[in-house]
Structure 1
Amino acid sequence: MREAIGRLAVADEDRTGYERGEFGPGWIDADHDGCSTRAEVLLAEAVTEPTVTGRCTLSGGTWFSWYDEQTVTATDIDHVVPLAEAWDSGARLWSRDMRIAYANYLDDPRHLEVVSQRSNRQKADQDVAAWLPVPSARCRYLTYWVPIKLTWNLSVDQAELRALNALAADCPNPQITYTPVL
């Protein structure tokens, strides 16, 4: 983990021109199986499986939001590294297609998480220097955040780097694996 943090590029963030729509129209059905990215994540992370009807319409089900240690029925899907944070950290230089791919990325289960609506709204578009999950989930959060940044070649600013290093000092030092997209 600590070595992986050291591989992150450090740069000032730039939110110039950011609009959520720069990451596409929302959830897509990349594999054309009738389920949107949102539905795919909900199905993968369900504690109690929802009922699936028609073209992947979900009802019922429960999920565990590890950000705040709550079992929930009303959920959000969180981009662990928020879209705005990705933009600030380099995604503004990507093609629209690459940003849509980022917003709907299912190849790494750490990228998108089912979380409570409350925790998702509290987090909003903040990075690890400004928001963290409950203390018992912080090391896990770190082991998701760092490989996502490395996978997508996203930079960190100085405040984010300080926060990552401080968090890592209080966490185990697991092996971090990732497959670069860029």
Structure 2
Amino acid sequence: MTDHRVRGTTAVAAALVLVVVVVVVVAPLLLTSPAATAAPLAPSSSDQVYQLEDAISLLVEADEDRTGYADTAFPRWNQGLDPADGCTTREEVLIAEAVEQPAVSRGCALRGGRWVSPYDNQSATDLQALAVAHAVPLAEAWGSGAKAWTAERREAYANDQAAYPSLNVVTARTVRERAEADIAGWLPPHPDAVCRYIGDWVATKLRWGLTVDKNENEVLKLFADNSCETTGVIRRLASV
């Protein structure tokens, strides 16, 4: 485990150097790069907006424990925001994040459309090449506090469309590469996506009251002090 963490932190440090060289410019509300394609939800009156450094300071540090994890603990995909539309959460997210809208037929069958994956800035029209990814992977959520949740809360987490960062349409390849790694073990391959990804990560952990481990916290602070210092985070607490 120690070797894995060292390798992960080294990789993150290398990525940080790359991001600085590219000079990532990050806007206040998480849409900071051309790799970001979907418009964020505007802050509501109950939301709080923080600079990344301040948002990180609100996170609780604790040891991570993934024992007992199974992805079946997070039921997905459910009927989504509108049970009457015949679409699952996954299909609703695909429709919402398309840069060119697909045709939607009976049973929510999607045809056509185009998407741009924020993680690697790749354009795709083949649904088989795409995945709907959780900003914070399910195993990471489990080890950071979701283990103690009710089944209802875990289902709400797995199908969360009420906050912009929670679910993202990305290439299936990047989901396989990331697997269940945390922020210390994997960052998006496209430099312009790194600060958005970190902002999404922090926003999701705050939204759901998830903890961060020591390595994870150190990596977040490293970016907040350097290339992502102007990144903003919307804190929108989950209602479940």
TM-score (norm 2): 0.73
Other structure's SS at 2:133 match: strand
Q: Is 2:199–2:232's contact at 8 Å kept on the other side of the alignment?
A: no
State how far apart, in whole Å, the 2-side matches of 1:109 and 1:174 are: 15
State how far apart, in whole Å, the 2-side matches of 1:120 and 1:13 are: 21
Q: Is 1:84–1:125's contact at 8 Å kept on the other side of the alignment?
A: yes
Q: Is 2:99–2:116's contact at 8 Å kept on the other side of the alignment?
A: yes
Q: CA RMSD in A?
A: 1.2
User: Which structure 1 residue ranges, 5 or more long, are not aligned?
Assistant: none
State how far apart, in whole Å, the 1-side matches of 2:165 and 2:236 are: 12
Q: Does residue 78 of structure 2 align to residue 28 of structure 1?
A: yes
Deviation, structure 1 residue 141: 0.8
Partner of 2:233: 176
State how far apart, in whole Å, the 1-side matches of 2:194 and 2:231 are: 14
- State the identity %: 46
Larger Rg: 2
State how far apart, in whole Å, the 2-side matches of 1:50 and 1:174 are: 32
Q: Is 1:138–1:167's contact at 8 Å kept on the other side of the alignment?
A: no
Q: Is 1:142–1:168's contact at 8 Å kept on the other side of the alignment?
A: no
Other structure's SS at 1:55 match: helix
Q: Is 2:207–2:237's contact at 8 Å kept on the other side of the alignment?
A: yes
What one-letter code is carried by the residue in structure 1 that aligns with 2:93?
V
Deviation, structure 1 residue 174: 3.7
State how far apart, in whole Å, the 2-side matches of 1:47 and 1:97 are: 32
Partner of 1:140: 196
Q: Does residue 159 of structure 2 align to residue 108 of structure 1?
A: no
What one-letter code is carried by the residue in structure 2 that aligns with 1:53?
S
Q: Is 1:10–1:156's contact at 8 Å kept on the other side of the alignment?
A: yes
TM-score (norm 1): 0.95
What one-letter code is carried by the residue in structure 1 that aligns with 2:168?
E
State how far apart, in whole Å, the 2-side matches of 1:167 and 1:58 are: 38
Spell out, residue by residue over 1:116-174, the C-alpha distance to the aligned partner (whole angstroms, 9 max, x if none): 01111101111110000122211111111101000000000011001111122221324
Q: Is 2:195–2:231's contact at 8 Å kept on the other side of the alignment?
A: no
Q: Is 1:29–1:36's contact at 8 Å kept on the other side of the alignment?
A: yes
User: Which structure 2 residue ranges, 5 or more long, are not aligned?
Assistant: 1-51
What one-letter code is carried by the residue in structure 2 that aligns with 1:9?
V
Other structure's SS at 2:238 match: coil
Partner of 1:88: 143
State how far apart, in whole Å, the 2-side matches of 1:175 and 1:159 are: 22
Partner of 1:44: 96
